[in-house]
Chains A and B, each alone.
Chain A
């Protein structure tokens, strides 16, 4: 009888680090990690040496010092005494403003152009092809600078609106003034407004006073000042819109239910429209909405909402440039849905509209949305070119003026990159989430 013995335990040999698949993986990873750590450490070591030689200590304390510069296009209260961090925040908001505005217009133009490019109409489809190729093949910075030059050079100066024999006039029934200093549009104001909601820490009087110390020219200081003031009117409008849109959706769901039970679909579009529009009109009436039209006073227009050239140029150029890419995505998405799908839907007797909304679009959107979101990402990143036309976004504030004034290259550039990175990652996460939800539906 033989006694089963355990096979001799293989002793560990050094060569196993390389030749044994189990250890090899660990070896390579350790080497990679060590290499990376060594490289990173080398960078940090160099940096600290260099900074020491320059007499700079890395610190973010400068962010709370007064910025000392002005930002002309802003969503929140800001003056030159505000700290750098507030300037950076205003910059982030400006980046987001241009990103959101740009994405909306780029999508509208892009979808329109993409659909028209597929039109059987030869003239129209050629024209759209020319548009797409023209914008795709020329650098976006050139378009931005060109748009800025057009905004400055072509429209008349405010002076030309003056006098009896003025060469320029305020267009659209005297509401919109297009000048070489920007576009002035009617500004919505509220008669019976709800006022502002102060948010943030410094709401005591003493802190307020300290905060606004030396703030000449800033007229409307709210006595209950906070770090930020959020308009309650705005909040009310957003809340109402969200609420009514939800109700409208419920009405649609009800219509779906009824269709499923009875086979008939009640016509609901006017009810759904009314549910959204009527309460909004009432709210705006209650808030006492009125518009101030731009008027020429002295050398400049006053009272209107001033959209500066930099904003318009950036918005226009980014939208048109990105729209050219979106048009190609839309075109490819629609072409990807085979002719057979449309034919099958038609053969089942679905109307052209239902074919589009029930068969083609759901499939096309699946192809379109992921690259569409990555184009939104590109637009957001390209908005950093604002610095070329002087629009004060994150690059213009934190990585522009703040950098130059404080000489804190390391801190400002790294912080700026970090903020951009988190914006990008948020958008990427939205895309991944969408991709996942599609995968679920496919099962």
Chain B
């Protein structure tokens, strides 16, 4: 009988793997040249990359940054790099970059001493108001996106929907205050009336009262307050809005505005009430079924026809309304996904404790559903932000619209690639970083559940 018992007396030492599987060569062999097809693909890709880079890099880097016109630019290129060099003329960005960022927004609308007229030139950092708007957006969004920040920053988030339009358009400060007051009226009406007349009736009153306030009383109130205590900053007309400011402005307003509408639509779509559901589904599917450009046509040609005679909303406001409606339909679908992801038990838990529908939604369902939806909301925002370029078709001077204007100037007639490249890079940086953030969030949500 052969001896099958075996006992190891000495442990084997760890050995290096064979040289062909480690190091760069091993890696390259395993990853790049593992088969004929793979090798061909690798070589083709490398050739392609080299070809593109050899074309783009000299163009992008052997270029001109300071010139006042395309002809001057070409001359400098000729003088520096020789007769046949094709170089980029980034000077156009240098020359027009203020316009690409701020459009025709007046540079000095506000003065440090709060003197409320047109200030002396050079008195204050230029473009204070749009820059303050950007800072405000960041400060308002940060506490929503990063939960490590102090919760008190949410106050900025609450103020910002009213402060932002005021900073951009100007006018009396009493107007946004009066608008905010409408929400306060609704809140207090609900708080004190709900116990007396019941939840549903309280809610209806809490919706109707602010609407009456906004439609009929807000204007006179703001005028009255303005006549008592005049607090205003110079008005800037919307046709002066332009460049990336207008893209960001439209994108942010659309997302902020679409959030409440989207929540209502999503709840309506989830509801058991047939008519409510049909109305919400109808709205959502209609908006999602037509291209954004048709809605922009509505904004540019039809919206003033739909409104009471004499209402003259300016074009930016009309575009804001339509883009917000557009975004809300998509937002509703994102939030509906978040609602569907919540287990039924959460509704039952809330019901069994005696919370009513709105309390359950506000305290239990929405906080969780919105948290799950944040990645979707961010992707929505990326989509809307990219789609703001469409406004150039209805003659709003977003960056893409400005390129035509810049080319129309004799000095820069015939310049294409540098402008497109600059706009593309800016959009890429914004959208790419946001999409990375939303991926990070998705991973975080996956691990925390």
Q: Is A139 a contact of B387 with CB atoms below 8 Å?
A: yes
Q: CA–CA, A428 to B290, complex, Å? A: 12
Q: Are A141 and B431 in contact (CB under 8 A)?
A: no
A137 touches B285 (CB 8 A): no
A261 to B98 CA separation, bound complex (whole angstroms): 77
CB of B306 closer than 8 Å to a CB of A? yes
Judged by a CB distance under 8 angstroms, whether B80 is at the interface is no
Given A141-B390, A387-B393, 13 further pairs, Cβ under 8 A: A19-B198, A28-B276, A31-B204, A49-B308, A137-B427, A139-B388, A139-B400, A381-B291, A384-B293, A399-B294, A409-B297, A409-B301, A424-B289
**A residues near B431, Cβ cutoff 8 Å:** 136-138
Whole-angstrom distance from the CB of A49 to the nearest CB of chain B?
5
A274 at the interface (CB under 8 A from B): no
Q: Which A residues, 49 to 68, have Cβ-Cβ distances below 8 Å to chain B?
A: 49-51, 53
A121 CA to B42 CA, complexed, in Å: 7
Q: Are A122 and B31 in contact (CB under 8 A)?
A: yes
Binds B, one of A158-166, A171-179, A410-418: A410-418
* Contact A139 B275, beta carbon cutoff 8 Å: no
Interface string of A387-403 (1 = CB under 8 A from B): 11000000100010001
- Chain A residue with the shortest CB-CB distance to B429: A137
B427 and A123 contact, CB distance less than 8 A: no
CB pair A119 B41 closer than 8 Å: yes
CA distance A142 to B392 in the complex (A): 11
A-B contact pairs, 7 of them (CB 8 A): A25-B272, A46-B305, A127-B49, A133-B432, A139-B387, A139-B400, A395-B294
User: Is A425 interfacial (CB-CB < 8 Å)?
Assistant: yes
Q: Tell me if A33 counts as interface (CB < 8 A to partner B).
A: yes
Is there an interface contact between B298 and A413, defined as CB atoms closer than 8 Å?
A: yes
Is B420 in contact with chain A by the CB < 8 A criterion?
yes
Is the CB of A307 closer than 8 A to any CB of chain B? Answer: no
Q: A384-B291, A409-B305, A425-B285 are in contact. Are A136 and B297 (CB under 8 A)?
A: no
Does B226 count as interface, using CB distance less than 8 angstroms? no
List the B residue with the shortest CB-CB distance to A387.
B393
CB pair B294–A416 under 8 Å, yes or no, is yes
- Once the chains bind, are B302 and A24 in contact (CB under 8 Å)? no
Instruction: Enumerate chain B residues within 8 angstroms of A413, measured Cβ to Cβ.
Output: 294, 297-298, 301-302
Residue of A nearest to B434 (CB): A137
Pick from A145-153, A220-228, A361-369, A433-441 the stretch touching chain B.
A145-153
Do A410 and B276 form a contact, CB below 8 Å, given A120-B34, A139-B386, A145-B420?
no
Option from B46, B288, B301, B435 in Cβ contact (under 8 Å) with A137: B435
- In the complex, chain B residues 379-414 whose Cβ is within 8 Å of any chain A Cβ: 382, 386-390, 392-393, 400, 403
Contact partner, B279, options A36, A139, A399, Cβ 8 Å: A36
Q: Is A336's beta carbon under 8 Å from chain B?
A: no
Contact between chains at B288 and A121 (CB < 8 Å)? no
Query: Taking the complex as formed, is B48 at the interface, i.e. its CB lies under 8 A from any CB of chain A?
Result: yes
Contact of B290 among A33, A139, A141, A420 (CB under 8 A): A420
Residue in A closest to B283 when the chains form the complex, CB atoms: A36
| B residues near A384, Cβ cutoff 8 Å | 291, 293-294
Complex contact B275–A127 (CB within 8 A): no
| A381 to B273 Cα, complex, angstroms | 31
**CB contact list, B15-37 vs A, under 8 A:** 30-32, 34
With a CB–CB cut-off of 8 A, which chain B residues contact A416?
A: 294, 297
Kindly state the separation between the CA atoms of A350 and B392 in the bound complex, as whole angstroms: 56
Smallest beta-carbon distance B360→chain A, Å:
15
Least CB separation from A424: chain B residue = B289
Interface residues of A in 18-40 (CB under 8 A from B): 18-19, 24-25, 27-29, 31-33, 36
Given A33, A134, A149, A420, which contacts B416 in the complex, CB threshold below 8 Å? A149
CB-based contact A121/B41 at 8 Å: yes
Q: A18 and B289: CB pair below 8 A? A: no
User: How near does chain B come to A120, taking the closest CB pair, in angstroms?
Assistant: 6
Closest residue of B by beta carbon distance from A388: B393
Q: Which residues in B have their C-beta under 8 angstroms from that of A29?
A: 273-276
Asked whether any CB of chain B lies closer than 8 Å to the CB of A238, the reply is no
Q: Is the CB of A46 within 8 A of B41?
A: no
Q: Is A209 an interface residue (CB 8 A)?
A: no
Task: Tell me whether B158 is interfacial, beta carbon within 8 Å.
Answer: no
CA distance A24 to B276 in the complex (A): 13
What residues on B are CB-neighbors of A194 within 8 Å? none
Q: Which 9 A-B pairs have the closest CB atoms?
A: A424-B289, A137-B431, A384-B291, A409-B301, A381-B291, A139-B386, A29-B275, A139-B389, A421-B289
A61-105 near B? 1/0 per residue, CB < 8 Å: 000000000000000000000000000000000000000000000
C-alpha gap A149/B286 in the complex (Å)? 34
> Smallest distance from the beta carbon of B161 to chain A beta carbons, Å?
23
Q: Does B231 count as interface, using CB distance less than 8 angstroms?
A: no
Closest B residue, CB atoms, query A383? B291
Contact B275 A24 (CB under 8 A): no
B293 pairs with A387, CB closer than 8 A: yes
Q: Which of B31, B289, B392, B435 contacts A121 (CB 8 A)?
A: B31
Chain B's closest residue to A32 (CB) is: B276
Cβ-based interface call for A47 (8 A): yes
Q: Which residues of A contact B94 (CB under 8 A)?
A: none
A33 to B42: give the CA distance in the assembly, Å: 63
Chain A proximity of B239: nearest CB distance (Å): 20
- Beta-carbon contact of A142 and B428 below 8 Å: no
On chain B, which size bracket covers the interface?
Answer: 35 or more
Q: Considering the complex, give the chain B residue whose CB is closest to the CB of A413.
A: B297
| CB contact under 8 A between A417 and B290, given known A31-B204, A32-B275, A137-B432 | yes
A428→B423 CA distance, assembly (Å)? 34
Is B291's CB under 8 angstroms from A382's CB?
yes
**Interface: A283 (CB within 8 A):** no
User: Once the chains bind, are A141 and B392 in contact (CB under 8 Å)?
Assistant: yes
A215 CB to nearest B CB, Å:
31
Q: Are A28 and B200 in contact (CB under 8 A)?
A: yes
Residues 264 to 278 of chain B near chain A (Cβ within 8 Å): 272-276
Q: For residue A140, which residues in chain B have a CB less than 8 angstroms away from its CB?
A: 386
B71 at the interface (CB under 8 A from A): no
- The minimal Cβ–Cβ distance linking B302 to chain A, given in whole angstroms, is 6
* B419 CB, nearest partner CB in chain A, Å: 10
Counting CB contacts under 8 A, is A314 at the interface?
no
- Kindly state whether residue A358 has any CB partner on chain B within 8 Å: no
Is the C-beta of A293 less than 8 angstroms from some C-beta in chain B?
A: no
Q: How far is the CA of A442 from the CA of B286 in the complex (A)?
A: 31
Q: Are B389 and A141 in contact (CB under 8 A)?
A: yes
Q: Which residue from A28, A46, A382, A417 sits with its C-beta under 8 Å from B308?
A: A46
> Within the complex, what minimum Cβ distance (angstroms) separates A389 from chain B?
11
B337 to chain A, nearest CB (A): 13
Query: A335 on the interface (CB 8 Å rule)?
Result: no
Q: Inside 8 A of B297's CB, which chain A residues have their CB?
A: 399, 403, 409, 413, 416
Judged by a CB distance under 8 angstroms, whether B309 is at the interface is yes
Given contacts A420-B291, A424-B288, contact A142 B309 (CB under 8 A): no
Q: Which residues of B contact A122 (CB under 8 A)?
A: 31-32
Nearest residue, chain B, Cβ from A116: B41
The docked-state distance in angstroms from the alpha carbon of A47 to that of B302 is 9
Distance in Å: Cβ of A383 to nearest Cβ of chain B? 8
How far apart are A145's CB and chain B's nearest CB, in angstroms? 7
**Which residues of B lie under 8 Å from residue A136 when comparing CB positions?**
431, 435
Q: Are A385 and B289 in contact (CB under 8 A)?
A: no
CB-defined contacts of B382 to chain A, threshold 8 Å: 137
A385–B201 Cα distance when bound, in Å, is 46
- The CA-CA distance from A50 to B305 in the complex, in Å, is 6
**B45 interfacial by beta-carbon distance below 8 Å:** yes
Docked pose: A413 CA to B390 CA in angstroms: 17
Interface contact A53-B309, CB-CB below 8 Å = yes
Contact A153 B400 (CB under 8 A): no
CB < 8 Å neighbour of A50 from B201, B289, B309: B309
Scoring B32, B46, B301 by chain A CB atoms within 10 A of each residue's CB, the highest score goes to B301
Give the CA-CA distance A139 to B386 in the complex, in Å.
Answer: 5
A43 at the interface (CB under 8 A from B): yes
Task: Assess whether B272 is in contact with A142, with CB atoms less than 8 Å apart.
Answer: no
Q: Is B38 an interface residue (CB 8 A)?
A: yes
* Contact yes or no, B307 A417, CB < 8 A: no
In the complex, A226 Cα to B286 Cα: how many Å? 35
